[in-house]
Amino acid sequence: MGRQPCCDKLGVKKGPWTAEEDKKLINFILTNGQCCWRAVPKLAGLRRCGKSCRLRWTNYLRPDLKRGLLTQAEEQLVIDLHARLGNRWSKIAARLPGRTDNEIKNHWNTHIKKKLLKMGIDPVTHEPLNKQVTSSQDSSSPAQHLPQADSTLQVEQKVGALNSEENSTSSPNENSSSLLVESICKNNESLMNSIWLDESPLMDTLWDITPKVENENNDMGLPIWEDNCSWLLDFQDFGVHDFGFNCFSEIESNALQTIGMDRKGL
């Protein structure tokens, strides 16, 4: 018996996406907005599973994605958020505009984990590795070992509010302060403050690109769709050229019609 597959496996393509497939998906979403992902492959003429389309869009094709390595500040923020939220990558990603959960997860596993281990910090508990040996004898919380800087206090209060908002899914790591948090707070006070002050999800509204909702986004003080569309001209890092000129002109004309954008104006 077993579970029904998420999509009809027969005739469903797997593996890396081709430029042609990307083109179809982008074209479809620009024209129709994000609708039922299950229906997308059929409607867009793709031999892919809906899940795969959603993943490709959210992790690679979305207009608001930043490319390239995480900055130092972003990395520190990830570390801090991980200390509080654990492996809840989507929640962490929601607080880093332009970054995806997959990207952050990958970066964590390939870079940050090693970095922390090198520094003698357990990437799971965010506590010093040597301290853990004696932690069973020492019942005091990690925060008690640290001098509490004013900026840290402010951040911790905001985090407290955040945690209470999310306490239904609290992770075992949430209450542990860490040496890293301390240094992050000291070095990036303004960054941390701005982040904790604005707890609204940054990403979701930004990339809700259904054409008719532009003005609603604007009401929230967020950039309207047109402001985020410069990517259409260069297709981010993978470039227009990756699609071939012919296919791009087709997407471009459709996209520009959809969003009412005049290329000459850019």
Partner DNA sequence: AAGATGCTCAACCGCAAAAGG
Partner DNA sequence: GCCTTTTGCGGTTGAGCATCT
Give me the residues that bind DNA (CB under 7 A), please.
Answer: 3-6, 13-17, 35-38, 48, 50-52, 54-56, 59-60, 69, 87-91, 101-103, 105-107, 109-111
Q: CA 217 from chain center: how many Å?
A: 19
Q: What is the CA radius of gyration of the chain?
A: 22
Q: Residue 219 in contact with residue 205, Cβ under 8 Å?
A: no
Which residues, 6 or more positions from 98, have their beta carbon under 8 angstroms from its beta carbon? Answer: 64, 65, 66, 203
Specify the residue, 34 or 154, whose C-beta has the smaller distance to DNA. 34
In the bound state with DNA, the residue whose beta carbon lies nearer, of 53 and 184, is: 53
Smallest gap from Cβ 197 to DNA, in A, equals 22
Provide the phi-psi class of 262: left if phi over 0, else alpha when psi is between -120 and 50, else beta.
Answer: beta
Query: Residue 86 and residue 193: Cα distance in Å, rounded?
Result: 21
Kind and range of the H or E run holding 133: helix 129-134
**Minimum CB distance to DNA, residue 230 (Å):** 20
Instruction: Give me the amino acid identity at 178.
Output: S
Minimum distance of DNA from residue 169's CB (angstroms): 9
Pick the closer one to DNA by CB: 105 or 145: 105
Question: Which residue's CB is nearer to DNA, number 30 or number 82?
Answer: 82
Cα distance between residue 179 and residue 183, in whole Å: 6
Q: How far is the CB of 155 from DNA (least distance, A)?
A: 22
| Alpha-carbon distances, residue 148 vs 13, 49, 117, 170, 177 (angstroms) | 55, 51, 24, 24, 11
Q: How far is the CB of 86 from DNA (least distance, A)?
A: 8
Closer to DNA at the Cβ: 111 or 131? 111
Q: Shortest distance, CB of residue 18 to DNA, whole angstroms?
A: 8
- The answer for 120, left when phi > 0, alpha when psi is -120 to 50, beta otherwise, is left
* CB nearer DNA, residue 46 or residue 261: 46
For the CB of residue 108, give the shortest distance to DNA in the complex, in Å: 8
Q: Which is nearer to DNA, 59 or 154 (CB)?
A: 59
